[in-house]
Structure 1
């Protein structure tokens, strides 16, 4: 035999006593990890019929024997509580009565998303003292919690929320979402205009009808003087989809806007005249 190793053959008189070997119990094959998410995975392997398996897993490079153990199971085996974008090793051995096969190793990496923040901001009608904006983050992907910074020193939570501003300005609103795959943030500029009595002449007199509609809307409002008027229709991302101007309104605007070619959905009508602005939500059927 070879002395100094655990694989030596030992001879006593005329008898040879071989070292223990797991070769009599076949090892599992075809180890794989499937259905991998940011926090879970299904471990699969192939064993001989009727065999149960021992499973151990941990962070890549861990010492076998120190990982998380799941004993006497069959394939597939679901594991949870993992960390996103992280490498893991796992080992599987089969049992054969009182015997155990050699351990077989495989590795996998958890997913890193998707997690994407998205939101819309829809201003209401301004009053003499404030303006309320409706925020909606339901288009976000992979989120379980939502945190808002409204840009004026106030914060909020929830997938949808309203916030009331008390001063005209452009505010940087930040949404932070958190989910199984981590955290993601998105910032947008929200334009708040029309607060105070002088600016509010348009919003106080603004009429848009019919609303909802599949065709034209009639837009009427008063202006402070014979200022030029600019009307734009924006989608909820803030992109202009229609825009036109009218000169010398002589204190009143009364005209039709054709939205028949727009896709169905919610839009924002933005009116500008001189230093004044007003907003109105419209629905295209």
Structure 2
């Protein structure tokens, strides 16, 4: 019975009879993570049927939530990539996807990009990525009621380097010293419109809008390691690796 229903008046979810002497019964075809009531009564023959037993309440366990498979990517550009996958057979309410730095853990590391898609969707275009950088894409199913699948197998990809007309603005660009201990000097023939410094996990740690041909970026307060500097000139952007000592 549905939890709270009356076995004498309400329509049962499942019903049946078992031979005399039976003491166990398996009921199949129930919904996962659902509350039910179980009742039993004796049939002594010739219309002599006993009253209903005391109710036994139970809740079915959460069913499996399938993992998306056949993850693929195409149309990878400097700053975007499109992904597709095969949806699992199990009913889902949606999908959670993440892009993390290459080698990152989608369960613990801060994602570069993430999102939620409605059930039935089997592709997504991710934008706002940095050029010529390695990333990892993951996706998992959301089956509702806090029932989610494991993450899919990883799909690693590298955004395009961004060759072509946009490179002209960067031919005279100088970044020095690199490695750097404190101040990084950025020099170009055209005005540098914006500087954005990212950690390898994709976290933005500094930003500056100098609008001049030469400026300095103070890195003295940062921990030693490798960073990614996104430089924008004439509305075009390129990313460079910076080593902080």
TM-score (norm 1): 0.34
Which is higher, the Rg of structure 1 or of structure 2? 1
Instruction: Select the structure that is richer in strand.
Output: 1
